[in-house]
Amino acid sequence: MQAPGTPVPKQAGRILGMSTLAFTTSFAVWTIFSIIGIRIQQELGLTDTQFGLLAGTPILTGSLVRIVLGVWADQYGGRTVFALTMLAAAAATALLSLADSYETMLLAALGVGLAGGTFAVGVAYVSKWYPRGRQGTALGIFGAGNVGAAVTKFVAPFVMVAFGWTTVALVWAAALAVMAVVFWLTTADDPETVARRARGERPRSAFLELAPLKRLQVWRFALYYFFVFGAFVSLALWLPHYLVGVYGLDIKTAGMLAAFYSVPASVFRAYGGHLSDRKGARTIMYWTFGVSVIVTFMLSYPPTDYVIHGLAGPIAFSTSMGLVPFVILIFVLGFFMSLGKAAVYKHIPVYYPDNVGAVGGLVGLIGGLGGFILPLTFGVMLDLTGIWTSCFMLLFAIVAVAFVWMHLSIRQMERQALATELDALPELPEMREIHGPAQRAQTSRVIEDWRPEDPDFWKTTGRRIARRNLWISIPCLLLAFAVWMVWSMVVAKLPAIGFAYSTEQLFWLAALPGLSGATLRIFYAFMVPVF
């Protein structure tokens, strides 16, 4: 990585452009099963769970190899590793056309997933061409290669309808192989690798490259990326299937509409990098998680019929989301996910400038695992519940947890920084109020001075704290009640999926959360004053 203020090399623009184009092609190959998987499911008679596993297998491979490829990119140079990875993925994609059973499809899909590993290589490669103040924008532009998913959704359905899914695999493999050759011929080794070779230095050991992975902060970044990228990939794979099943669309129309999610979730990543450089990555993450919580909650609500017993008789009405509102909300979700993806990777070169490949590889690995685990989980949840919107219920829970963890971590860092600054100040008479108990209470996890009955204290401090706690508690209670009541829906579906329970057994299964929740309230009432 270049130091701040260092002029950008002349060829940096060409390097960034070719890397972005190569990653776009790789991503198009990586998500190929989002389209051809639907035809394969029909030909082989696969269940939704089997389809989810097939669509997610390339994501698994691409995720697991990211940390290895990221370390290799730091050790041997991103240019070489990038080109070789694309060639290997192209060969596996071409072999996919020879598969004739579900097992061989899964085996070939493992090789196709290598295309997804190019992201970690590209992050390590591109970041070494730009100074810190411009890395957010550069990595955002590179990450816009996610638009390859939209390319597959736009083009692949027409090729598949005209020539069959095997032709799609062969064409995509040829495009990736050509891109690998063009990339190698038009790029150069990064300045850091060139300088190391000129000095005759050996690459750093893998142990030193992986040392930062011991820090909890890295894993927190990984959880952020699990949502903003893992959920993006999973929805890119799942949405055509969702649109066909929920709205009865044909595969071409479903693929086109799914692109309304993939395009903003990819193209605006460059804008997210620009905003991260200007506004700060932390601010962008707050925007991303705040909007995502609202949108996933709206999308998670299933079509529901209500009957209200009024004085004049039953009053029936229903709620459901039409196609147009769904597409609009998906567009909004994709837009803010794109900002979040850029913001997460803006953190990495700043905090870990000497380990971008390893840290970026781990974060990408966890995010990519989300792209594997979530489609499979979507299929399992759909098979178990029969509720299509269950996928968005899961995403709502994930982003809520990430949002809370991020906020608590930031508050803790702010308190630690403020406490250090206060302790460094001299305890002079004119600065005595700075070292008072009220000021120290603001840097502590526990409120040591709490006098709500004091009018002056309430006006200056107490009201603000009480209102903040109230507004934090309301959504927590809402989520807790939603989880508390969802068990009854699961119990109602148990006989339909093969559990031979009697009516009495089902009654007690449904009643247990209510009984335990009511009983534990007595215990909790005593715990609050104590803790």
pLDDT (tens digit, 9 = 90+) per residue, 437-466?
Answer: 555 545 445 565 677 778 887 888 888 888
> What DSSP string runs through 76-118?
H-HHHHHHHHHHHHHHHHHHHTT--SHHHHHHHHHHHGGGGGH
Show Cβ contacts of residue 80 under 8 Å, excluding neighbours closer than 6 positions.
189
Give the mean model confidence (pLDDT) for residues 76-92.
Answer: 90
Give the mean model confidence (pLDDT) for residues 355-367.
Answer: 75
* pLDDT confidence of residue 398: 92
CB 126 within 8 A of CB 15: yes
Show Cβ contacts of residue 19 under 8 Å, excluding neighbours closer than 6 positions.
82, 122, 125, 126, 142, 183, 187
* pLDDT confidence of residue 181: 94
At 436, is the pLDDT very low, low, confident or very high (cuts 50, 70, 90)?
A: low
* pLDDT confidence of residue 403: 92
Residue 241 has pLDDT above 60, yes or no: yes
Residue 156 has pLDDT above 70, yes or no: yes
Mean pLDDT of the chain: 79
* pLDDT confidence of residue 520: 66
pTM of the model: 0.61
At 23, is the pLDDT very low, low, confident or very high (cuts 50, 70, 90)?
A: very high
Tokens 């079509």 sit on residue = 303
Give the mean model confidence (pLDDT) for residues 507-526.
Answer: 68
Share of the chain above pLDDT 70, in %: 85
CB 341 within 8 A of CB 228: yes
Give the mean model confidence (pLDDT) for residues 121-130.
Answer: 85
At 521, is the pLDDT very low, low, confident or very high (cuts 50, 70, 90)?
A: low
Report which of residues 67 and 20 the model is more confident about: 20
Show the domains of the chain with their CATH numbers: 12-188+214-389 (1.20.1250.20)
